[in-house]
Structure 1
Amino acid sequence: MDILLIGGLWLDGSVWERVASTLESLGHRPVPLTLPGQGDGTAAATLDDQVAAVVDAVDAASGRAMVVGHSVACTLAWLAADRRPERVAKVALVGGVPTSDGRPYADLFEVTDGVMPFPGWGPFQGPDAADLDETARREMAAAAIPVPEAVARGVVRLTDERRFDVPVVVVCPEFTPAQAREWIDGDVPELRRAGRVGFADIDSGHWPMITQPAELARILAAAAEAA
Structure 2
Amino acid sequence: MTPMTSSPTILLIAGHWLGAWAWADVLDHLSTDHPGAIAMTLPGLNGDDPDRAVRTLDDQAAAILDVLARSGVSEDQPAVIVAHSGANAPVSLVLDQHPALVRRVVWVDSGPMSTGSAFAPNLPEEVKELPLPSFDVLEQQASLDGLSAEVLERFRARAVPEPGPVLRQPVELTNDARHAVPTTLVCCSIPSAQVLDMARAGHPMFTDVAALEHLDVIDLPTGHWPMWSRPRDLAQVIRSAASRAT
Measure the CA separation in 2 of the matches of 1:199 and 1:216. 13
Which residues in structure 2 correspond to 1:148-227 (within 5 Å)? 148-186=163-201, 187=203, 188-227=206-245
SS at match of 1:52: helix
User: Once the 2 structures are TM-superposed, how far is the Cα of residue 27 of structure 1 from its aligned partner?
Assistant: 2.9
- Residue 96 of structure 2 corresponds to 82
Which residues in structure 2 correspond to 1:24-35 (within 5 Å)? 24-35=31-42
Tell me which amino acid in the other structure corresponds to 2:25: R
- Residue 6 of structure 1 corresponds to 13
Runs of 5+ unmatched residues, structure 2: 1-7
Measure the CA separation in 2 of the matches of 1:105 and 1:185. 21
How many residue pairs end up in the alignment? 227
SS at match of 1:25: coil
Pick the structure with greater CA Rg.
2
RMSD of Structure 2 on Structure 1 (CA) = 2.0
Which residues in structure 2 correspond to 1:14-163 (within 5 Å)? 14-39=21-46, 41-42=48-49, 43-44=51-52, 45-62=55-72, 63-107=77-121, 113-125=127-139, 128-163=143-178
User: Once the 2 structures are TM-superposed, how far is the Cα of residue 143 of structure 1 from its aligned partner?
Assistant: 1.2
TM-score (norm. length: structure 1):
0.92
1:135-192 deviation per Cα after TM superposition (whole angstroms, max 9, x unaligned): 2112211211001111111121112111111011100111211112112212222121
Measure the CA separation in 1 of the matches of 2:94 and 2:71. 13
Runs of 5+ unmatched residues, structure 1: none
Q: Which runs of 4+ in 1 moved over 6 A?
A: 108-112
1:49-93 deviation per Cα after TM superposition (whole angstroms, max 9, x unaligned): 111111222333332101111012123323221111111001110
SS at match of 1:220: helix
TM-score (norm. length: structure 2):
0.85
Measure the CA separation in 1 of the matches of 2:120 and 2:36. 29
Tell me which amino acid in the other structure corresponds to 2:81: V
1:9-28 deviation per Cα after TM superposition (whole angstroms, max 9, x unaligned): 00001101111121121235
SS at match of 2:132: coil
SS at match of 1:136: helix
User: Once the 2 structures are TM-superposed, how far is the Cα of residue 130 of structure 1 from its aligned partner?
Assistant: 2.1
User: Once the 2 structures are TM-superposed, how far is the Cα of residue 106 of structure 1 from its aligned partner?
Assistant: 4.5
Q: Is the 8 A contact 1:69 1:75 kept in 2?
A: no
